[in-house]
Structures are given as structure tokens and as C-alpha cells.
Structure 1
Amino acid sequence: MSQITTIQLDNFLPYMRDVIRCEQSLHELNLMWRMIESSAKMNCPTEAKSILPTMAATRAGFNRLEKELVLSLVQEKVATVLSEIGTKAQYVIDILVRNLYERTADVGFLATDNELCEFVAGISGNDELIRARLRAYRKKYTVYDEIILLDINGNVLVQINDETPIEGSLDPLIKETLASDQYVETYRASDLRPSKNKALIYSKRMRHPHTGEVIGVLCLCFDFVEEMASIFKSHGDPSERSVMLLLDSDNCVIESSDKIWVPVGAVVPVNDDMQSNLKVFSGRKYLVSTFTSDGYQGYMGPKGWQGQVMIPVDIAFTGKETNTLKTLDPVVAEGLLSHAQSFCPPLFEVMNAASTIRRVVWNGQVMTAGQSGELLKLKTVLDQISETGTRSNELFAQSINDLYETVLASRLQDSEFVSHLLVDLLDRNLYERSDDCRWWAVTPELRAALASQTIDSKTVTQITDILEYINSLYTVYSRIFVYDNTGCIIASTNPMEASDSIIGTRIDETTLAQVMSLRTEQQYYVSPFVNDALYSNAPTYIYHAAIMAPNGNSVVGGIGIVFDSSTEFFAMLQGGITEKESVTAFYIDRQGLIISSTDPTRPVGTMLEIDTDLLTLPNGKSTSRIVIHDGHYSILGCSVSNGYREFKVTDGYKEDVIAVVYDSFGEVRSSYSSGNNSASIIDVSMTQSADPEFATFFIDGGLFAIEAEYILEALPASEVSRVSIGSGSERVGVLAIQHENEGKTFAWVFDLGFLLSGKLTVVDSNSQVIVIEYQQHKIGLLVGALHSVAQFNESQVTPTPLAVNRDGVLIKQIIKANSGRLLIQAIDIQYLLNMLSNPFEAVGDDKKIALRIVNGN
């Protein structure tokens, strides 16, 4: 997490209302403890002597918390916003680079097209025929808005765009392309695209089909503006609080999601190291995140290009109201909150502070329970402060809930966004596959070869060479093969060993029938996602297109391209979740069948257990929710594919894929209470001063009570030490106790939850040990969070049905608080002590036990 200076804190804090509330709450609690200390010193200095050190330590702790905790909260919120906009900034550039990678393959392949090369060389063909061929290519690869063939002098031979006719070009890219054996990528103003301020052009030199002499240049002009608008629309901020940008190496805006807000051509500040420093643009302060691409298949994209997202600081921490906690099962909400240390450390600090406050107040009230005289003065002080403490604790609880809500809402939104990105990556990738199979099917050499009466070994070699060349450019395929009109495979890349060759085998009858029924060059067929021998008996999609006779009257065969689904889908998922250990991701179909998985325990082909309503989510829709997954609290993000351009939209192909993301926070806990539950606040307005007092606490989510007169104090469960003495499961360790003017004593600690239910208590940050003093002996009881100390009148305390005429019951009374809306189980302390077998044995030898503790045993 980036460090934020005090000056920056002043800039951020005015825009964080929930943190301001927390700061006010902390300040109020600090003042409360100052008042406790001062009142006790003035009114009852002798009686308060034993607790003054505790109060002084608490006051000092709040001095620290007021400064450090607020800083931590601000850092967390700023880091959350930076992470959110950083994810989007990275996706802007990564999605674009993946798209442009396909263009580098396209230009390399099309520049070797034999028909086009023969035309540029002057061997055959005419303008209209070649223009029709290029337009057929554009009809399949709709990402291009212009295709141009030029000779070595820059004269235009053919172009497909009639709206901007050009005769020739003096652009230096022509000379550069003619001198290079690689493709050339150009983005700037060009006379090749006179109607555009800048154009993104991929060019490749062409060679004579017979002599190999360089004869001209092919230019593919990418429809860049439309593509960026698509990315911004799909992945931009629907609340319009941030702006998404594409920048060049000089930090100049190439494209903007809002050109009125940040215009194209503007130079903007960048933040490529995720620092929290505010950046100023046009007189307004922004949080900014900037990313370059890590590359795709070795292609890094245009040099220096960057994705960036900017959000004004004055609206960065606001947004639509969320009600995640209100709709969440309270048991799940509490259980998830128990893992705050892992998913939000500042929230964990706030909770610990609240727990510390509660314990000090609780101990002070216990100490004066039932006392009179001078101790009553201390009790009066503590009662007054307890009232203030209750109100402050409600503010504290609200601060905890506000931060908790913010963190959950952010993580829900992030998971939903990631799942949306994953289906978008999949649709964009598979769109290219549908283009490839259709274009390669119209390769003249393939059409002529399959239309001939006999296919000799020379023809097979020629076809295989073509396929091998294609496969070397388009590495996402594990195999490309060609078959005749009977379905017999005559040529293939990666044909395997001779003993296991696919040459001469036949494709399945269903696929053959589908391919033979195709009637136009725009149609294609995709096999279902099932195990296939052509993919080593693993499941994948195979894209097929019909190869027509040269006259176009009949289908003479087909081409199949085997998508390397195992590798490519997994790479998409891993790239989307950035290899976070707590996150797993899946592609599934409408039935829940796993297409790809980052979870090794759920391989491809198995079913993912998921809510059925998610399987029927409409196309293009996303959602997120908190679920239990593999015994862990998890945030689930889910999105359904919606196609890309015409793919799966208007081309007749229907194959819905759902992306599912799980972000796990920690194992499910059957019970947990932070002590901040407002529903458990006790109303004491009807009690009298003579009424009995009970100290209350949580065990396994339930509220319990012990008569306050038997309680010495509560200490954090973290102070319990385990000793190497054989004992039952109920005895968890030993606790050192030391009061002023007294030597150190030790008490055995027993798991009260285990004694009640037979289930061991899971110790967490809220766990406490209540020290019971009985007949000059002491024992500790491991419990959950502390609650309060309150008086109840006799009418509120009633015996349990099981307690009538029975001695052997640990819970003999029920306290009906708040007019019976809150039930508290009262522990029979005498029965508890009797049921523990020799609870005080060996405790007297303090030196031996202390030695064991020091030695770590």
C-alpha cells in the first residue's frame, strides 16, 4: 500500500464521510477515557488505583489510534480506488494489444495471398476481381475500414473504400515496408487515409509468386476509433465518475471515453507506479492509474502506448448507495467479518480498538458490581461513562459497518468487472476464429485442389505447406486440416506419428452434414465443446467452413481449425485474475459444465455447482454476490457472453459461455460475534439499584450471562499459554494474573463453549477469558466477545423448563431482556465449578507453571 503524507491526508479526508465519522467517534472515545481517568482520580483515587494504569494505557492507545487509524483508513480507501481504476487501465491496453496481435498475423498472411500477389505482379487478375476479393476479406474481418494494394512507387493499384479515393502515396511507411521482411505498424496522419487525423495501418511487402522479387505493399487499415469506442462502452464506468483513456508515449491522449471531458490530443499527467499523489489536470485534482502492456504472444503493441483511468478526488469516494450488509445473512456477515485481518487490515484495527474499549468498560463495571461506600463513587463514575461509552460504541459500530460496506461493495464490483472482462476476451478471441476458417476456405489453391478428380501426393504436399504456413502465423490452433466432400482428411498440420496419423480418417457425420449444407462464404459451423480425437481426445471447439468449387456452385470439401482451448482459455482466465492466490475463475456453459478452470480440483468437463438463477442470466448481463464456496466465504462475480461485432449476434451462431470468478476470504465459521450487534443492546430503563447485576458475553453466537459478583476481570484470550500437562479437551491452557501489590498467580482456563456444546471454540481476535474468583480460587473461562454488564429485575429472570427439580443443569435461568425480545442464558457458576474435575489441582505451584510457560511448553 502506498504511503500517504499528512498533507495528502488533508486533501483526501474531506471527501470521505465515513472516515470522518470514524475520526469523530475515536475523538469522542478518547475524551471519554480522559474523563474516566480524571473523574476517578478526583472522586475516588484510592478505589480507582488498581484500574488507573489500564485507563492511562487505553487513553494513550486512543491518542495513537486517532492519528494512525484514520491514516490507515484513508490509505485503504485510496488504495481501493487506485486498484479499481488500475484494473480498468490495464484492461484498456491489454484488450487492445490482444486485438492488434491478430492484425499482425492477418497482414503477414494476406500479403502472401497468391491471387493478390499475381495481380500486383501483373500476371493475372483485374481491378474489379481483386477489389471483390479484398471486400470479401473485409466482410469477414470487419475490424478493417480500408485495404489498399500499392506498387513499389506508391501508386494505388486497388482500394476497397470508395468514399476516399486516392491515386498514390508519398508516405514514408511505403519505403520502410519495402525494406523490411517484417510487418510495419504505423499510427499517425497519412495520405493513405486523407479523411482521418491519424490512422493505424499494418503494412507488409509483397513478392512476385515466381521470382520472389519485391513487387508492392499491402496495407490493412484498422478501424481504430470504432474499436476503442467498443472497449470504452463495454468496460467504462457506468456511473461516469471516471474517464478511460488511451495514451501514446508522450502521454498525449489518443482516444478518450469522454472527449468533452478529456479531449483527444490533450497531454495528461500519468501515474505508472501506482503512487497515491494527486495529479492536476485542467484545474481539477485526480487520482490516476496508468499501465503499459505486458504483451501478448510476444507482441507488445505500438511502442509506448498506455491505458489510463482518471477519477476526480472530489467524487472518487462516492457512488451509488449499497445495501450489501442489509441483504446479507447476519450469520454470514459476522463470519466474513471475522476474516477482516486478511481482506481489510484497517477494518480489523477498528474492530480491535472497539474490543479493547469494551473490555475496559466491562472490567470497570464488574469490579464495582454490588459495591457500596467509596467503591460506589467509582461505580457512579463508571456508570456515567458507560452511558457515554454505549453511545460512542454505537458510533464506533456504525464506522465499522460503513467501512465494511465500502470494502464489500468494492470487492463485489471488482469481481463482477473481472468476470465481464473474461467473457469479453473470450468472445473477441473466438470472433477471430470464425473469420479465419471462412477466409482460409476461399484460398484458391485449396478450392482448385479439392475440385480436381484426383488428389496426388504433390497436391497434398502443396496443401500441407499452405496449412503449415498458416499455422505458423496463427499459433492459437493446435491443428488445421482439410477434408474432401466425403469427410476424409487429406492434409493436416501436426499429423502425429505415422502409426497414429489422422490422414485418411473421417470427420463425424454430423459435422460433415453441417458443412455440406453451407451455401455461402459467410457461413461457418462450430462443433460442440466435447472430447475430440483431433485434439488428443480433449474437449475443444473446432471451426469449420465449406470449401467451394472455383465456380462456387458446389461444396467440394471443408477446412477445420482446432482451437487450442486448453492453453488459450486458461491463459485468458489467468490473465484476467492476475494469478491472485485467493481467486479462481471458470468458463462454463448454460448447464454448468466447465469449459476452462484455474481450480485444479474442478477440471474441464466436470460440473460447477452454482446457483441455477446464474445459469439463466440474460446475455450481456453481470452480477455479483457473497456465497459459500468450498467451505469458504467468497465473493462471486458472474457474466454471460454477448458476442462481439457480428459474432454470436447476427451470424446465426449461438453458444453462450458464462465466466465465473470466486474471490475467497477465509473458511466458514459456525459462530462469530464482533460484539457490535446493535440488536443485542440491553435496555436497562426499568431496573432498580438493588436489582442483581449480570456480566454478559457471546459464545457460539449466543448471548450468555454470569452473576457479576463472581467475576474478577476479563483478559484477551491471546494471553493464554498452553502447558504440557495432560488434561481433557475442556482445559485449554493457563493464564497469568497479576494485580497491584500482589504476586503473579496462575489460573487454569476452560473452554466454556466446549462445556456447553461439546465443540471446541475457535479462538479469534475477539475471544476473551473471563476470570472467575470463587472461594479464594481462580479459574478462567474462554468465551467469545464481551457484551456488557447490566442489572435485571427479578421478573426478568426465570428458570428454564429443564431446571425444575434438577441439579445437574448448567443453564438453569433465562433472562428476558428488552421486553422478551432478547433472551440471555445464565450460567450456574456453582454447578459449573462442580462439574470441572479438580479444577484447582496443581495451580498452587506457581513457580513450576511459570517455568513451563517461559520454556514455551
Structure 2
Amino acid sequence: MRGTTPLPVDTFLPYMRDVVRCEQSLRELNLMWRMIEASAKMNCPVEAKTILPTMAATRAGFNRLEHELVHSLVGEKVGNVLDEIATKAQYVIDIVVRNLYERTADVGFLATDRELCAFVAGVHDNVDAIRYRLRAYRSKYTVYDEILLLDTAGNVLVQIDEASPIEGSTDPLIAETLAADGYVETFRATDLRPHKKQALVYSRRMLHPDTGVPVGVLCLCFHFEEEMAGIFRSHRDADERANMLLLDGDNRVIASADELWIPVGATVPVNRSAEPRLLVHGGREYLVRTLGTAGYQGYMGPPGWQGQVMIPVDVAFHGGVSNALSTLDPAIAEGLLSHARSFCPPLFEIMTAADTIRRVVWNGQVMTAGQRGELLKLKTILDQISETGMRSNELFSQSIRDLYETVLASSLRDAEFVSHLLVDLLDRNLYERSDDCRWWALTPELRTALAAEERDLETLENLTAILDYINRLYTVYTRIFVYDREGCIIASTHEMENGVSVVGTKVDAAVLSNVLALRSEQDYYVSPFERTPLYGGRPTYIYHAAIRDPQNDSVVVGGIGIVFDAQPEFEAMLRGALADKQGMTAMFVDRRGCVISSTDPSRPAGTQLDPDHDIDRKLLALANGSSASRILVHDGHYAIMGCTVSDGYREFKVSDGYREDVIALVYDSFGEVRERGGAVNREDAVIESDVTATGGIEYATFYIDGMLFAMPAAQVMEALPASEVSPVSMGGRAERVGVLALQRHGESRHFVWVFDLRHLMRGAPAQIEAGSQVIVVRHNGQDIGLLVDELHGVPEFRPSQIIPTPFAAAAEGLLVKQVIQANEGRLLVQALDVAQLFACLKDPALPTVLNLSDATHLNLMQPENETLENAV
């Protein structure tokens, strides 16, 4: 959530060269509007009296919009940067907390290991065997760089880091741990790790296996520096403009992506409330975001820890130039831009203002059509307004595109980053599962029981109790079970599944074969992600490790299977990474495009994505660790899609022989797809005029469905915004869309019916948008309004340019009987027959109209028997 502090535009503006250029252009245009208005007042005040109020209102509106546009551009750019660095700051702390949550479970389980407890209690003194066991643990859980066993006096009984030997410790954490029922989390300098400035230690007391009396302490030392370096390496921005930090509760840096820039131990300013302000550190101004954690499984991490990202303001807005819009299909680009109202209201107002200018000029040209004398002065003024309006419109259009490019570029990066985070979270989580199954397979009680020729009820109950204890500590599993060499399950947590006991059932033959073939205690096997009765018929991964004979490691006597609770765990990853991002969905899929997990209810786990519509086939073949993003149409919405292919974590999926690529997909919706009419290309529709020609006829031109139409300017009264049309609920013709109030100078107020000209011409209703206009047309003393898509101009054509259509002589009732050859025949303009139009509306029996775009006869909608006099 962005802060509530007012945006200090002048503070940020010097760092945004593109916005500065826009502001200068706006001021120049404002000056030009003032000059035109003054010229009209001096040269033709009487003739211009009908447009001067509109000009004044437009100029005043531009004064306000100039400020709001610059404010919006600056605000959007600052907001995008703050949002981007907030996402990264949130992920720094969330990744750390998720990782450390696993450590709290590890120390709780290992501290109850019977062999270790017996050694610490003095039941036996085989140091080499215990050191081997601890190293076996470390070889699976590679996140630890030291494991120590201490007695109650702090003497070191055994450790595995030979490079940092210690005999004992006087650290207060020993007494604290002995007095605690649970784990103790310590992060600071400690004599347990004398060569480190600070160490993260998880400790728990160990009890005598027979009496339950505290006999010592287990310390698991997390390899903090290595882990943070990996996080920063994976998630820092590629061009290293920003620094990622982990802070303690006193805002002191405890890990830095670039220690030469911001060293560990430095105290930095923080911004927890997303205020759009600059903070100074080391003489340099920064945009900063600081985020705490929402916790994971109830664990909140070390007290006060925060993720933070700092980016210097002088480089914050200098990212690579985006050309996302220019590379899109024009229809998609236009559709995206049509959503301008939703992301920047001032820009939407400017678009509306540009339409107002075009209408003012168009109405003025209609009013002066065929006139001479003083009205020619007004024509000159109108030409100036038109030219300045075009310049204004070009500037506004470019501003809209620039701002949208900023929004799209930020969204593309964000979608990629979120997808990268998702596969990182997934691989980190599943790494722990591969560790767990291998370590628990070494449990002495399991090995002894499975190696025995027979197992009595007490033995089986003891196995179940051990598995239950583990499952209570590690809640990410719905079931932990063990099976013998024949694959028969002999013990399991949550024994009943749909009213039937899983004990006595057999694991899949392919699974058993793979487990029996595992060569060492470092190897494991993962079943494919598929439906299984061990998970209620839902799809999941089951991690397996071989249980070996305690007297001969080369002999496999059975296996252990741990059923990952995939549905809630994967969904929690997806939703956690999306946080409160509105309009975003995410999913995990495999290389075949089969959904593993999804926040999209229409694509649950097991759904097969369509490579022709849901995802590009090329993305399914991306290299491991690669990311990509696209703008596309997804489920009827314009959307950004980001995707990343998993690349493993530490040795998991990297060097341990297991391969199971997962692709994270993130979709960010930008609004519903809008059926746009034919795209209007104003450059192609510029009509060249011959200033030496005389005796021409002036036509009012306009767009319908992207095509240019015309009607004699002498029959056109004015154009008004379609937003002023009042819909009516009473019955009538399907083409009639409502009524429009007219108030002309010297006339009383009256109403006219408005008809949808596109509906009349094409048989399909028009979509009324911000730029839609109503042209008021008069024939034989009667007025009607015609809804059109956009106004064009009031050019003059020579009679020789106006020719009949090939169909004109063959059919009665055609609305288009003539076509105008403009620009030496390169541009064809369809001329509407106004008399025929009124006749069609007056007599619904006249059946046909002609649209030269497809040269087919289209039937008019059959209305009720209503005359034009009644309609008007």
C-alpha cells in the first residue's frame, strides 16, 4: 500500500527527463492557445462568439490538466519504483522466514534423536560414530555449517567443523536453552562460532533417554552468509541499481547484497509506510521500501527482522526504454490504451479534451462552410485551432503511450520476478522434503524393525508412534509411512483413508523397484506428480528413501514414504507470492503444460493447458532458470504473463540426480478485451487540399467502424458528445439509442432522436465510447442525431472528384450512392445520401443499404411501423 504523504513533484521531476520534456511542451501549447484566443477576439469577435466560450473553457481545462498530467506522470513513475522495490523487499524477508521455519522443526527433531541423546547422557562414548551421524545429517541438510553437542556445563562433546575447533562455551544461550521447553533462536556474536562476527544458532536441550533429565544442548548453526548471498544473487536486479538488505529490529544491516556499498552493521533509514519521499544515507538520496513478514505457519522469524531495498533516486528512473506497445498487435495495443481511465484519470480527461478541441474545430468549419467575407477570418482561426489541436493531441497521445509503457514495463518485470520467486520457493520447499525422507530413513528403530524377520504388535506400535511424532513436527506431510522389501506398508500416520486402512496395502511396483535400486543413503526417489490413493485420490509428490539393514548398508530392507500435502502448500506459495496484487493469478505447470497447482479456479491441478491459447509452446521449452514475459489476451482480458523455469536449490535438482522441471506462470489482468472498430489511422486519412481550386463542395467527414464517411456540410448543424445522449426505455427502432437536447442561440430548447449510424450501415450496434459523437443533421426542416465513432474534418471537394458507386443505378434505397476520390484517388470517402437516410427512417419498408467495405447488401433491422415525423 502506498503512503499518504503528498507527492513532492518538484523533488522528483529533475530526475525524469521525459516528464520534464512533456511539461515544457504543455507550457508551449498553453501559450499557443492563449494567442489563438486573443487573435479570435481581436479579428472576428462576432463570428467567433459561438466558439470563444468553449475555447476559454478548453484553455482553462488545459491549465488544470497540465498540472495533473505532470503530477500523474511523476506519481506513476515513483509509485512503480516503490512497488517494485517493495516486492523485492517482501520476498527477501519471506524467503528467509520460510527457510528458518524449517530449522525450528529440524532442531526439535534432532534433539530427540535417541543415539545422540544416549551419547550426551554418557550411556556410551563412541565419539567417531556420533560425529559420523552428525556429518550424515549435514550431508543431507546442507544449510548448516556446524553442528555441536554440548554438556550442561558448556563443554563441547562433538562438533563437525574441524576448521573452527572449540573446547567449550560460556555463551548464555546454553543456560537459556537448558531452561526452555522448546528451541532457542540466537543471532549475534558467540564463542560457539569464534571466526564469525555473527552467527545464527538454533539450540535445544537434550534429555536422558531413560530419566528425561536435561543432559546437554544441541546447536544447529545455520550457514547464514551463504544463504543470504544466494538469495541476493538470485533476486537482485540484473543491473545492480538497487541494494537488497536484511535488517534487524534496530534498522541495522545484518546482510547486504553489496557490502562495499552498504556494509553490514550500518544503520539505515527505513520506509515501512511506503511514503513517496527521499531518504538520505551516506550523503546520497534514496527511494526505500521496508517490509516485515506476515509469518509462515505461525512462525514470525527472529524478532524485528525486515527486508529492505534501497535505490538511489538519480538512477531509479533510468531503466531500459520499453517498446512493449509498438511490438504488439495494433488491435491489442489500442484495446490496452482504451483502459486509460482505470490507470490514470487525468490522462483520460486529456483524451476527452482532445475530442472537445476536434469537435470545436469541426463545428466551426461546418458553420463557416460555403461562407465568405468576415467568416473567412474565422476559418483562419479554426485552421490555427485545428493545427494546435493536432499538436496537442500528438503530445497527449505520446504521453499516454509513455505512461502506459512505464506501467507495462514495470508489470512485465514484476510478473517475471514473481514467477522467479515462485519456482525458487517451490524448489526450496521440496529440497527440505528430499532431506527429510533420507534422514528419517536412517532412524535406528526403523532400520532394526524392518531388518527383523518378524515384527510384533509392540514393535509396530512403536514405529507408528515414531512416525506420529515426526508428522506432528513436520506438518507439511499428510502421511508418513514405512514399507517392507515387498512394498507392503507396515506402519503409517493417519492410517485411515476414506474409511480404509492403508496399512497392509502395497506401494506401486515401479516405486518399489526404484527404491530398491537406490545405491546409497544420499539417494532418494520421488514419484511423479499424479493422483494417488495415499493422498485421497488427489495429485502430489511422494518422497521415498531406502531403509537399510543396520548391519549392512548395502542391503535394502524397505523404504519410507512421505506424502507432501501439495494442495494447500503449493496454493499457499502461489497466494503468498501474489500477496494483495489485484487481478493476478498464478500457477505451477510441468513441461507438458499440465497444471500442478493454480489460483485460477477454472484451471485446477490436473488441467492440461492449451499450447495454442493458454501458453506459447516456446515457453514450455525455456532453459532452466530462464524467465520471460509476454503481453497477451487471456480469458477475455488483456494480460501480462511472466514465467520462469525452475533451476533447483543448492544440490537439489542440480547435482543429486533428480530432475523434475516446474514452470511458474503469473498472469496480471489489465482489463477486458474491447472489440474495437477498424483502427483509425489519421495519417492515412489526411485529405490533401488544393488551395487554387474553386467551386468546390464542402463535406462534413467522420468515422464509422474505422472507415471514412461524408455528408454535405450544408445539411449538418453541429456535433455534440455522445455522452449527452439520454437513453429511453420506451419501444422503438433498434437503431434508435436515445434523445439529445439542443439549445441553439436564439432558439428554444428542443429534443431530437439519435440513431446509431453503424447499426444502420452494418446491422450491428456501435459501442459508445469516450470519443463517440452525435452529428445533428437537418433535412426539410427536420432534425435527427446520428451516432458516429469519431469526427474527421470539413474538407472541400471538386465535383469531378464525386462519382457514383457501381451499385447506384441498380438498386433503390442505397444510403451510399456516391464515393469521393480524395488525394488523387488514393483515399475513398463514402458519401451518405441524406435524403435517402431520412426516407429510410421514415419508411421502414425500404430494405437495403450499401457499405462499400464489403460491397454486400445488408437488410435494415425491421422496426415497428413508425414514421419519421413521429420519431422526430
TM-score, normalized by length of structure 2?
Answer: 0.93
Aligned residue in 1 for 2:606:
605
Change in CA separation of 1:385 and 1:101 when aligned onto 2, cut-off 3 Å: same
Q: 1:297 to 1:615 in 2, by over 3 A?
A: same
Q: By how many angstroms is 1:506 displaced?
A: 0.4
Seen in structure 2, the aligned counterparts of structure 1 residues 178 and 17 have a Cα distance that, compared at 3 Å, is: same
- Select which of 634, 637, 642 maps to 1:637: 642
Q: Measured at CA, do residues 704 and 666 of structure 1 come closer, stay the same or move farther in structure 2, by a change above 3 Å?
A: farther
Aligned equivalent of 1:841: 869
In the alignment, what sits opposite 1:784? 789
1:321 counterpart residue number:
321
Quote the residue 2:754 is aligned against. 749
Q: Name the aligned partner's letter for residue 709 of structure 1.
A: A
Name the CA distance, whole Å, in 1 between partners of 2:153 and 2:431: 36
Matches within 5 A, 1:389-400: 389-400=389-400
Query: Which residue in 2 is equivalent to 1:568?
Result: 569
Q: String of CA shifts for 1:78-121, please: whole Å, max 9, x gaps.
A: 11111111111111111111111111111111111111111111
User: Aligned letter for 1:761?
Assistant: A
Q: Find the aligned partners of 1:165 and 1:192 in 2 and give their Cα distance.
A: 9
1:413 to partner: Cα distance: 1.4
Contact 1:746-1:843 at 8 Å conserved across structures: no
> Within 2, Cα distance between the matches of 1:212 and 1:119?
14
Residues 29-56 of structure 1: CA distance to partner in whole angstroms, max 9, x if unpaired? 3233323322221111111112222112
- Residue in 1 aligned with 2:669? 664
Q: CA deviation at 1:349?
A: 3.5
Equivalent position of 1:486 in the other structure: 486
Alignment CA distance shift 1:791-1:480 (3 Å): farther
Shift of 1:742: 2.3
Question: Which residue identity lines up with residue 684 of structure 1 in the other structure?
Answer: E
Superposed CA deviations along residues 628-660 of structure 1, whole A, max 9, x for unmatched, are 111111111111111111111111111111111
Q: Which residue of 1 aligns with 2:182?
A: 182
- 5 Å-filtered alignment, 1:678-693, equals 679-680=683-684, 682=686, 684=688, 686=690, 688=692, 690=694, 691-693=696-698
Return the alpha-carbon distance in structure 1 between the equivalents of residues 272 and 661 of structure 2: 37
Deviations 1:525-573 (A, max 9, x none): 1101111000000100000000011021200000000001111111111
Paired residue for 2:855? none
Which residue does the alignment assign to 1:41?
A: 41
Is 2:459 aligned against 1:455? no
- The one-letter amino acid of 1:553's match is S
Of 647-656 and 33-42, more deviation after overlay is shown by 33-42
**What's the CA shift for 1:817?**
5.2
CA distance in 1, matches of 2:21, 2:309: 29
Aligned to 1:853: none
Going from structure 1 to structure 2, the CA distance change for 1:818 and 1:469 (only over 3 Å counts) comes to: farther
Structure 2 residue 704 is the aligned partner of structure 1 residue 738: no
Secondary structure of the structure 1 residue equivalent to 2:406: helix
Aligned counterparts, 1:211-610, within 5 A: 211-496=211-496, 499-551=499-551, 552-609=553-610, 610=615
The separation in 2 between residues aligned to 1:787 and 1:281, in whole angstroms, is 55
The equivalent residue for 2:846 is none
Indicate whether 1:206 and 2:206 are aligned.
yes
The alpha-carbon deviation at position 427 of structure 1 amounts to 0.8
Partner residue, 2:849: none
SS of residue in 2 equivalent to 1:324: coil
**C-alpha distance in 2, partners of 1:814/1:198?**
84
From the superposition, tell whether residues 702 and 232 of structure 1 become closer, same or farther in structure 2 (CA, over 3 Å): farther
1:54 corresponds to: 54
Between the aligned partners of 2:220 and 2:3, the Cα distance in structure 1 is 44
Instruction: Supply the distance in 1 between the matched residues of 2:822 and 2:160 (Cα, whole angstroms).
Output: 83
Give the 5 Å matches for 1:689-708.
690=694, 691-708=696-713
Alignment of 1:188-199 (within 5 A): 188-199=188-199
Any idea what SS the aligned residue of 2:741 has?
Answer: strand
User: How far apart in 1 are the matches of 2:708 and 2:229?
Assistant: 57
> Which piece of structure 1 moves more, 650-659 or 368-377?
368-377
Residue 761 of structure 1: aligned partner: 766
- Do the aligned partners of 1:344 and 1:407 also contact (CA within 8 Å) in 2? no
Who is 1:852 aligned against? none
Compared with structure 1, are the counterparts of its residues 725 and 273 closer, same or farther at alpha carbon in structure 2 (3 Å cutoff)? same
**Residue-by-residue CA offset, 1:371-408 (whole Å, 9 max, x unaligned):** 22222211111112322332332222222221121111
Asked if the contact 2:3–2:273 (Cα under 8 Å) also holds between the matched residues in 1, the reply is: no
* 1:674–1:785 contact (8 Å) kept in structure 2: no
Paired AA for residue 593 in structure 2: G
8 A contact 1:115–1:125 mirrored in 2: no
How many residues align? The count is 842
Q: Tell me which residue corresponds to 2:86.
A: 86
- Partner of 1:809 in structure 2? 814
The 3 A distance-change label for structure 1 pair 39 and 9 is: same
Work out the CA distance in 1 between the residues paired with 2:97 and 2:826. Answer: 61
Query: Does the aligned pair in 1 maintain the 2:331–2:679 contact within 8 Å?
Result: no
User: Contact 1:734–1:746 at 8 Å: present in 2 too?
Assistant: yes
Partner in structure 1 of residue 848 of structure 2: none
Matched residue type, 1:752:
L
AA at the equivalent of 2:571: F
SS in 2 for 1:314: helix
Change (3 A) 1:779 1:597: same
* Equivalences for residues 811-830 of structure 1 within 5 A: 811-815=816-820, 823-830=828-835
Spell out, residue by residue over 1:728-781, the C-alpha distance to the aligned partner (whole angstroms, 9 max, x if none): 221111111112332212111111221222222222222222222333322222
8 Å CA contact 2:594, 2:606 repeated in 1: yes
AA at the equivalent of 2:688: V
Q: Distance in 2 between matches of 1:301 and 1:500?
A: 40
Conserved in 2, the CA contact under 8 Å of 1:343 and 1:665?
A: no
The one-character-per-residue Cα deviations of 1:813-855 (angstroms, maximum 9, x if unpaired) are 45555666655444333333322246743466xxxxxxxxxxx
Supply the distance in 1 between the matched residues of 2:387 and 2:693 (Cα, whole angstroms).
16
Task: Measure how far apart 1:478 and its partner are.
Answer: 0.7
Deviates more, 1:785-794 or 1:440-449: 785-794
Q: 1:260 to 1:465 in 2, by over 3 A?
A: same
Shift of 1:9: 0.9
Segments of 5+ residues of structure 1 without an aligned counterpart are: 845-857
Residues 1:792 and 1:403: Cα distance change in structure 2 (over 3 Å): farther
Compared CA separation, residues 751 and 122, structure 1 to 2 (3 A)? same
Contact persistence 1:32–1:389 (CA under 8 A): no
Which one-letter code corresponds to 1:735 in the other structure?
Answer: L
User: Aligned with 2:737: secondary structure?
Assistant: strand
Q: For 1:57 and 1:623, how far apart are their aligned partners in 2?
A: 47
Q: Whole-Å Cα distance in 2 between the matches of residues 544 and 293 of structure 1?
A: 33
CA contact (8 A) 2:33 2:388 kept: no
Q: Which runs of 5 or more structure 2 residues have no equivalent in the other structure? A: 843-865
The offset of 1:137, in angstroms, is: 0.8
Task: Output the CA distance in 2 between the equivalents of 1:573 and 1:115.
Answer: 39
Contact 1:673 1:698 in 2 (8 A): no
In structure 2, the CA distance between the partners of 1:93 and 1:828, relative to structure 1 (3 Å rule), is farther
1:127 equivalent to 2:127? Answer yes
Match of 2:649, SS state, is coil
Q: Distance in 2 between matches of 1:798 and 1:261?
A: 75
**TM-score of the two chains, using structure 1 as the length reference:** 0.95
What is the alpha-carbon distance in structure 1 between the residues aligned to residue 867 and residue 246 of structure 2? 71
Alpha carbons of structure 1 residues 124 and 368: separation in structure 2 relative to 1, 3 Å:
farther
Query: How far apart, CA to CA, are the structure 1 residues paired with 2:625 and 2:498?
Result: 46
After TM superposition, where is structure 1 displaced by more than 6 Å over at least 4 residues in a row? none
Equivalent position of 2:779 in the other structure: 774
What's the CA shift for 1:415? 1.2
Closer, same or farther: CA 50–35 of 1 in aligned 2, 3 Å: same
**In 1, are the aligned partners of 2:779 and 2:834 still within 8 Å (CA)?**
no
